[in-house]
Structure 1
Amino acid sequence: MEIYEIQIIETIIVIVVFLILKLIAKRIIGKVGARFKYQSGRIKITNKIVVVLLVMLLTTILMLIWGVNQSELFMFLSSVLTILGVAFFAQWSIISNITSTLIIFFNHPIKIGDSLTIMDKEYPIEGRLSDIGIFFIIIKTKDNKKITIPSNVFMQKMVKKEDVD
């Protein structure tokens, strides 16, 4: 029974440390975001990414505390990564859209809330960038319709940022 008591105490300590790290990370991200005047959407997404990484770390530590065999854990993780790798290899568009979303989110001059025109010969689009999802960009037109464009297609188009007076 003593072994389980130690594992329970270690688990509680790890969870408390996780919650403290989550709170600290959220505050630091908020302060950095405010200092550099990042949009609230970017701050929220950055917080989510950090929390996901912390949860992965927490899960790994808890598995070690509770005695999950490291070779079995490694076999499970390598199997999952292999399946994901095959799935991503089969779907280059998924990787392309995820990569494009990251580029748009962190390094594109168009930000959420900006008015824009997509300079397409066949179907020009005017509106406001409403959201940047993992796979799609959502544009809200002047007549309140939502248009979704795959992120990789958005990256390939000429986009004109409209000045707001």
Structure 2
Amino acid sequence: MIESLYNLIPEGWERSVLLGLQVLAILLAGFILQRFVARTITRIGERYHLPPQFVLVIRGLLRWLIMGSAVLMVLERFGVSGSVLWAALSGFVAVAAVAFFAIWSVLSNLFCAVLIFTLGPFRLGDRVEVIESADKPGVKGRVVAINMLYTTLEDMTEGVNIEEAPLLQIPNSLFFQKAVRRWRGTDVPFTFLDR
């Protein structure tokens, strides 16, 4: 019977058909295995009254692990080395992690700017104080500008001449990391600064 099937395959296609059958068998075995494991995990979760969220996460992780292993086995059948793929993937992840870490502060300030604009914890003309701790005075000033990376305050600490007050640029993320005091309706008239 095998020889009759072998005779049906055109000349020179034996290897391709065999490779296709191997790939199909690997993917089918991976699919069946992941379904079996998912059902087993569900039964264990029901029997031992595990939280459904935990069972769902475990099922998802095992499904990805099994199907990922099956895909790697298929790629090896096509001649792609698993170690080369692993090296490329780990290199990409390392570069992405370094890049994300490098721009984290900028992304944090951008996100906090969006929160400042949408939630409105303070607005132009308000006096704010970023409190360091109970025993240390913080940065105090009047909000004169808000942009995507930082908020500009006109320094209002005691002893500073209002006409010569320096401008302080506070990263937007700091307003969400520290306690902030705010006074609305300041008694000092608001003017746009040309500095």
Give the TM-score band, short-chain normalised: 0.3 to 0.5
- Relative to the length of structure 2, the TM-score reads 0.41
Rg larger in structure: 2
Q: Which has the higher helix share?
A: 1
